[in-house]
Amino acid sequence: MTTLLLARHGLTDLTGPVLAGRTPGVHLSEAGRAQAEALAARVAGVRLDAVVSSPLERCRETAHAVADGRGMDVLIDDRFIECGYGGWTGRPLKELAQEPLWQVVQAHPSAVTFPEGESLAGMQHRAVVAVREWNQRLGEKAVYLVCSHGDVIKSIVADALGLHLDHFQRITADPAALTIIRYAPLRPFVLRLNDMGELRLPEDSEEKDGGENITGSDAAVGGGPGTT
C-alpha cells in the first residue's frame, strides 16, 4: 500500500485576506517559515521515498524544509499547482464574496470555471491523476510527501473519500497541516486529516500478522484495533 502525505504550504503575507492563486513571487512569511520547520520536525521520524511540490515558491520553500535535512531533492510536478483562478487571482476575498459565482463555488463547485481560468473539476482531475501516477511510479511500499495548496488537497481528499466534488468544501486544509492517505489495492484510506500533531504512521494491516490478508479485503471488520 502506498502512503501519501499531503502538506499544505505554510503561511504567506497573502494567506487569508487575498486569493494569491498562481501569483508569482509569493514566499513564506516568517510565521510560514516557522511552520515549515515544524512540519519537517513532525515528519522527521518517517521514511520518505520522495518529496514532491507544486512549482509555486511557497510550496517549494515548505517542501525544502522537509527535504533539505534529509539530503533529498524536491521534485516539481506542475499538476499540483494551485487552481487557476484566472480573473479572481490577487483579489481580496471580501470582494470576491460579493460575486455571484462565490455562492456557486461554495454550494456547487463541480459547475465552476473561474473567469479566464480553470474549472475546479479540471483541477481535481489533474491532481488525482498525478497522485495515481506517483503511486505507480514509487511502488506499493512507498511513502512520499506532496506539498500543494488548499483546494488541490481538498479535492484529492474528496476523491479518496468517494465524495462528489460538490462536497469538497466540507474538508479543511490549514497551512502546514498534514493529511495522510494510504492507497490500498481496493480503495484509499484517509488516515489523518488536517493534522498538526506528531506523526507516526500505522502499520499495514497485512504486515501485522506477517502474512497475506486472506479475507480479500483491505478494511478491518468492526473498524480495526487502532495503533499503540
Pairing of strands 2-8, 178-183: antiparallel
Exposure of 166 in the CB half-sphere (CA atoms within 13 A): 5
Sequence-ordered list of residues with C-beta below 8 angstroms from that of 57, at least 6 positions apart, any chain: 24, 25, 26, 27, 28
CA distances from 202 to 71, 143, 169, 180, 206 (A): 25, 12, 27, 11, 12
- Active-site residue set: 9, 82
CA-wise closest residue to 193 among 212, 215, 170: 170
Task: Give dist(CA 52, CA 67) in Å, integer.
Answer: 9
Task: Give dist(CA 151, CA 114) in Å, integer.
Answer: 13
Contact between 199 and 26 under an 8 Å Cβ cutoff? The reply is no
Task: Give dist(CA 20, CA 184) in Å, integer.
Answer: 35
